[in-house]
A and B are shown apart, each in its own frame.
Chain A
Amino acid sequence: AQTVTQSQPEMSVQEAETVTLSCTYDTSESDYYLFWYKQPPSRQMILVIRQEAYKQQNATENRFSVNFQKAAKSFSLKISDSQLGDAAMYFCAYRSTGNQFYFGTGTSLTVIP
């Protein structure tokens, strides 16, 4: 089974600064998708960004970007110009070829005004 590891249970960032959340995964598959989801206190899971494994170019969505290192099986999320609304739990997720999603243990992000 695939495993997803997030080694930072908690992170904090000053408003307007940049923060990077780490994620590593283990798989024997060559074609897969990786995601970052945000879970605010409402518990609703919100898609932040998606990366196809076959694409070498790192995905970017406005202030959010990833550093995808396929050989190292690393998929970090960079949040630029952090805002108070970015405070949430962030989950890294792996989608297998069988279409199951596997989640990391999450990183709780605090944004300091």
Chain B
Amino acid sequence: GAVVSQHPSRVICKSGTSVKIECRSLDFQATTMFWYRQFPKKSLMLMATSNEGSKATYEQGVEKDKFLINHASLTLSTLTVTSAHPEDSSFYICSARDRGPLNTEAFFGQGTRLTVV
């Protein structure tokens, strides 16, 4: 149980276009999902916290208009990178908290490697 699926695993897009990344909790309901960015051989940097049915909370320095987050249901959150630029190229990871008995930990998706050319 507690599986988080992230899609796509890899995406290449042209500068100026937008890319949407999906994060789904497959066998549990997640009232809260988190989005991270990870640079090569670096730690995970929390970008935003996504709460179902409400606006996401962004960490300091993260542009909310650049990284649009939608958490429309208890099993799905999306991250849209708008007007992508090469500096947005990175590895993006989502995680979700189970609102049930396992809610002390977060379960991670497989990550999405975004390359902007």
Contacts and interface: CB of A to CB of B under 8 A. Distances in A.
Interface of A: 33, 35, 37, 42-45, 47, 50, 52, 89, 91, 95, 98-106, 108
Contact of A99 (B43, B91, B93, B97): B97
Contacts of A101: 34, 46, 95, 106
- The prevalent SS among residues of B at the interface is strand
B105 A45 contact: no
Interface string B64-93: 000000000000000000000000000101
A98 B57 CA distance: 11
B43 A100 contact: no
Given A43-B91, A44-B111, A99-B32, A104 B43 contact: yes
Contacts, number: 51
Contact of B49 (A99, A104, A105, A106): A99
Contact of A100 (B42, B46, B93): B46
Contacts of B107: 47
10 contacts: A45-B95, A45-B108, A47-B105, A89-B41, A95-B105, A99-B97, A101-B34, A103-B36, A103-B43, A104-B43
Contacts of A91: 43-44
A47 B38 CA distance: 17
Contacts of B42: 105-106
A6 to B, nearest CB: 8
Given A43-B91, A45-B44, 7 more contacts: A33-B104, A91-B44, A98-B49, A103-B36, A104-B43, A105-B42, A108-B41
Contacts of B43: 91, 103-106
A106 B107 CA distance: 18
Contacts of A44: 108, 110-111
B101 to A, nearest CB: 13
